[in-house]
Structure formats: structure tokens, C-alpha cells
Amino acid sequence: MATRVTYCRICEAGCGLLAEVEGERLVSLRPDPDHVVSRGFACAKGTRFAALHASAERVSAPLVRRGGRLEPASWEHAIADAASAIARVRREHGPHSVAVYMGNPGAFSFTTPLFTQALVRALGTRNFFTASSLDCNNKFAVSARMLGSPMTHPVPDLDRARFALLIGTNPAVSQSSFVHAPRMIERLTEIERRGGRVVVVDPRRTETARRVGEHLPIVPDTDAAFLLALLHVVFDEGLEDRAALRDHAAGAEPLRALVRRFSPERVEGATGVAPARIRDIARAFAGSGGAFCHVSTGVNHGTFGSIAYAAKLALELCTGNLDRVGGALVPRGAVDIARVAKLLGFDREPRFTSRIGGFSPVMGALPTGILADEILEPGPERVRALIVVAGNPLLSAPDGDRVKRALTSLDALVCLELFVSDTAAHATHVLPCTDFLERDDFPLAFSQMQPVPFAQWTDAVVPPTGERRPEWEIIADLCREARLPLGGNRLTDAVIRGALRAGGPRRLLAPLLVPRFGLRPLRALRAHPHGLTLDESPAGDFLKRRIGTPSGKVELFPSDVWARAPELERTLDAPGGGALRLITKREALGHNSWMHGNPRLTPHAHAAFLSPADAGRLGVADGDWVRLTTATGSIELPAVVDADVSPGVVAVPHGFGHDPESGWRVAVARGGANVNLLAPSGPRGLDPLSGMCQFVGLEVTLERVARARAAE
């Protein structure tokens, strides 16, 4: 038995793991007590990943559809057949007739985003879609305009803060996104122990709110108004940091004028938050001596997620808490991704717009919410072939019924996958990939999201089982067979393939690491297998030297970011219709859709959670079956009456309702319904700036359809 050091790549926390290996077989995973940041912490999703890694449901050989069925094929045949189908569609209908979709897990590999981008450029298509428009595009779009790079995102200085404002995030279950910070609950608790405050703003008393801080209930999808009310108090009471505004901000006056219209009294009816609580939080945030505001998917998924993120950044800058010890830090990280992106031009968005809806790309990608339309709507550039890399849009995207109609109409659907997922069940080709234990890795995408900067290289823990291959190799082979140069030109193709021949994809990574770790960076990193702590960027360094906007200042009032402010203001006076508002929730023993195939993760039975007050009003008891209906669709689930849910709210976990045609027998057996069937797709359902889909705040009609089926 050998012990090998690695780290988890399920979420941004990147907790250290120790893998027990016998020969070439993984036996178990456990937390790494010597990891420089996680220090022996890892959640159940990480420590139980071994069961998913060894699952009998994983695809171990290529599958090609013949006679309506997916059947095993050789790699030679599968690559040739898939490449031929893609080349044929592209030749007959043009480059934009082939689309690419990359899912969330792709971001946790340094190779997958790089090679997926090389594939998109090889195809010459504008139709590139990612899961970012399902969970975080608002942050990319706003940071590009306010801070000068979509790669720049302030992270909470957890270990020195005196005030933590958490909105739409539940780190007790999911650690939190856009911050590389294991042990979140422990570190939040330490804020209170040193005399500070933690405020958890959420329509539900979450697992986090039960364990730390003060819970502040809020009406779903009103976070933007709440944050603007905090800014109103800051300006109205003279709590702003005038030196920070003078030296580092542009657009303070139009922002000041806007927030005058969002007083605590004005937003109370919409948010459900008393003016006294808003004033107390604003004063404490401004006067704490070190405060941060962290917003996550519960905010991103709302109607005004872009305005909310802009208000969060403005709140931190205006109170002097941006780029400050104890506030929101802007680390350089092991690799200054924002600087590299600017030097190479990767942060310059293409000038094209989408055929459907006229959306501009964010991080080079179009909104997933129009993917079905791009496939189904007639026209000379209609999408007829789709390559899916590490994604499951059938379950992740809004209006899954329409997505399914779109996927099944394609001439070719090529999925690079671990399983025959809901999406892959309708593929023409399924090409089996390695998981994170079967590949080398470095947390490149998250190196600037670390409150405690560190670096860690991991070699593969075990070799791939069967015929699985890494995504980069499959993409390189597809492009070669289709006679498409990687990166879109022969020189880039030659450079990439030369690096691969010389030592694999690590040869592409090494030049980025040389400035920090010397001429042999991987040797330096391997000498510290549990992670290497790096020098911190001095507080104030970002504001003085690294703001990427043309003005060199934080742009507090980009016009397109605030364009929907009048629409937001009108919602403050809109009469309530009495309908419930939908929120989604995560399960501690589940993660999106792809972790439900793990037999060792046993999430609760899928259900709709509502407050005792609403249950009594609607005549619903625990276990009764209810129908949830929106303008888009309806689903049926058992009800759970839960005192942690605020009145007027219904909470439904996402990632359930797997397609019975998929190869996920364990996941299918768990039942449930796809809550995203309630969410609208198409241009009218998306944020014009970011292309974000709305999953939170949808008005839902709830009716009982059957009494509890316990007797059955």
C-alpha cells in the first residue's frame, strides 16, 4: 500500500487529499493533515470520490451510435467517425454550424480550458458556450468593466476580517465559489471569536446560518436592492472612505445619485428587511476596521445579479475595504492570470454577437440559455453539431425539455465524458475521459482566488482504467483527424503539438510558472507535495498598480452595468401577487448533477421545502405531493415543511431528475425532478449584459396534487 499526495478538484476549495493506492488501484481517499491551507479538512464529496472513480457505470471505451444504440468502438474508429461528422457539417453549413459546450468540471483542470479554447478556434465558430452563464458570468462581465479584467475578483481576507457579510452562499455545504478557501466555517467562526460579526443573508436559515453568525432573512431576488440600500446609508451618513474614492475611484457621483433612490425605507417592502437592520449592517461594515462582502450563486442566479455584484464591489471600495487587510484582497497568486490574459489578448472579447438575441460573448462564450434556440431556430448558420466537454447541459441549462428536443435534432453530438450522462445518452459519440485522480494538475484558474496564496502540483494518483484518455488528447486527435489546426492556425498547432511531444501538456504550463518558481518549476513544486505557501501581495498593491481599466481607477459606474437600475427600482413598488418565489439549494452529499452517480453520497430524497405558514395556508402537510408551476413548466415533488424556510419561499435542490436513458443507474434511482424545467430559456429570460440565466426568484404556483404516499 502506498500513500500519494494530491488535492480535490470538485470545487474551488481544493482541499488536500491523501490517496491510498495498492498497485495501480485506488483504495481510499482521506484528508491531508499536512496541507498548507486545508490542514486535515476535506468534505464528504472529496473523501468519497473514490467510489465515483471506481464506479461500474463509468465509460471505459469509446461508444458510437449504431442503429439507434451506443455501442463500443475502437478509438481509431470513434475519432475518425466523430471527426468526419464534424468536418462534414462544417463543410456543408459553415464554421458556425458546429458548437462547443464546456461544463463546470472543466475549470478544475489546467488543460481542459486551454484545449477547449484551441478547439473553438480550430473550428472558427462563434458558438462557444460554457456553464459560466449558468452560475457566474455576471462576475466576469462586471469585473471586466469595473476592475479592468474578467479574471480579477477580490477574495475575503478570512483570517483577519472583523465583519463578514455573506449573501446567497452556504459554505457549510459547498465551501463557496470564487474563493480558494477550505475550512470556511472554522474561519468564519474565528471572526466572531476575535470580536467580529458574521451576517448571513438568505431566504432560508441555511446550514451555515445555523452554525455561525446572525441570519438575516430576505425576499428572494432582492439582493441588489439590499446592497444598494447599504450604499445609500454609507453615502447618506458620511461613512465613505473619501481618500479611497479620491485616489482610486471614478464614477462616484453618479453612483451616489443612484443609491439616493434606494433608501432602507424604500426597499423594505421588497426585501422584507427592516430599515434599522440595514442601517446597522451598513454602519458596522464601514466602521469594523476590516470587512468583506461575499456573494455567490444565490445572488448570481437572480434577475439583477450583475447589479448586485457591482454593488458589492462598490460597497467594499467606498468603505475602504477593497485591497485592505481584513477586507477584500486582490492577490497576485502563483500566476498573475489577469496580467497574462492581458498580455496575450485573452481578455479582449470578440466583437461578434449571437445569431439569436444579439448577445456579446463573456470570456469568449455565448449564453447557454440560447443554445437550444441556436439549434432549433431555422437559418443558414443554425447549429447542427455540438461537442460537449465535461458538461451536462440537458440537466444544467434552463427549460430542459426544449434542450432535449434540440440535442436529439443534431446531426452529431460528441460528448467527452466520464459517464453516459443525461446529455451523453443522446450522443452520436461518447469519448471516455480521465477523472482528476488520473491526471497531473495545477490549480491555474484559481491561483488569484486564494486569501492565503499557495501553489500545489499533483501527479496523477493512478493510471487511467480501460481506454480512458484526458480531454486534451481527445481534442488534439479530433482536430488532427478533421484537419483543423489547434488554435486556428498552423503555427499555433505546431507549437502545441511540439510541446506535447516534448513532455505533454505540462510543457505548456511550465513557462507560466518560471517567473515564480525558477527554470524547473515542477521540480520546485514537487519538493512541496502538500503545497507551498507564497508571499502575500501587499495590501494596496492592486489599487496602486494593478487596476486594469483605461482610467487606472475602479470604475464605479459603467453605464451598461447599471442600465437595468430603473427596472430594479420599479420592482420596489410592484404589488406582491401572493405567489411563492423559488430558490435552489445544495445538498451536503451531492454536487450539481454529476456527483449523484456516487453510491457513497446519499443526498436526501428530492423534495420541495416550504415554510409552516405557507404549508398551512395552502393545506399542505409533510410528504404531500405538490405541483410547482411557472410560466415555463411544472414539476411534481413531495413537500417538506421546514421552519428554516422563510414565508413566501419554496426551496428545491438542483441536479436531480436524471434522464432515464442515461447510464447513471444510481442517480436515476434517486428520482426527483429537474428544477431547471421551471426556468425560462431564450433571449427574454437572460440578463442582457452577462447572458446569465435566472434560476432564483421565479414566481411559482404551488398546489397539492396528492396526500402523502407513505402508505405506498
Tell me what pLDDT residue 709 has.
Answer: 65
Tallying the residues shown for the chain, one arrives at 712
Percent of the chain scored above 90 by pLDDT?
89
DSSP output for 270-339: HH---HHHHHHHHHHHHHSSSEEEEE-HHHHTSTTHHHHHHHHHHHHHHTT-BTSTTSEE----SS-HHH
Percent of the chain scored above 70 by pLDDT?
99
Assess whether pLDDT exceeds 60 at residue 462: yes
CA 276 to chain centre: 34
One-letter identity of residue 536: E
Q: What is the per-residue pLDDT across 54-105, written as a single tens digit (0 to 9) for each?
A: 999 999 999 999 999 999 999 999 999 999 999 999 999 999 999 999 999 9
The contacts of residue 145 (CB under 8 Å, 6+ apart) are: 549, 555, 558, 560, 561
Tell me what pLDDT residue 659 has.
Answer: 93
Cα–Cα distance measured from residue 512 to residue 118, given in angstroms and rounded to the nearest whole number: 18
Cα–Cα distance measured from residue 656 to residue 675, given in angstroms and rounded to the nearest whole number: 8
pTM of the model: 0.96
Domains of the chain by range and CATH?
2-53 (3.30.200.210), 63-135+338-533 (3.40.50.740), 157-323+546-555 (3.40.228.10), 575-706 (2.40.40.20)
Q: What is the per-residue pLDDT across 366-412, written as a single tens digit (0 to 9) for each?
A: 999 999 999 999 999 999 999 999 999 999 999 999 999 999 999 99
Residue pair 164/1 in contact (Cβ under 8 Å)? The answer is: no
Tell me what pLDDT residue 276 has.
Answer: 98
Cα–Cα distance measured from residue 503 to residue 125, given in angstroms and rounded to the nearest whole number: 30
Assess whether pLDDT exceeds 50 at residue 712: no
How buried is residue 712: exposed, middle or buried, by Cβ count under 10 Å (0-12/13-18/19+)? exposed
Tell me what pLDDT residue 599 has.
Answer: 87
The contacts of residue 433 (CB under 8 Å, 6+ apart) are: 390, 416, 417, 418, 468, 469, 470, 471, 474
Q: What is the per-residue pLDDT across 334-352, written as a single tens digit (0 to 9) for each?
A: 998 888 888 877 778 888 9
Tell me what pLDDT residue 711 has.
Answer: 37
Task: Give the H/E segment covering residue 129.
Answer: strand 128-130
Tell me what pLDDT residue 648 has.
Answer: 97
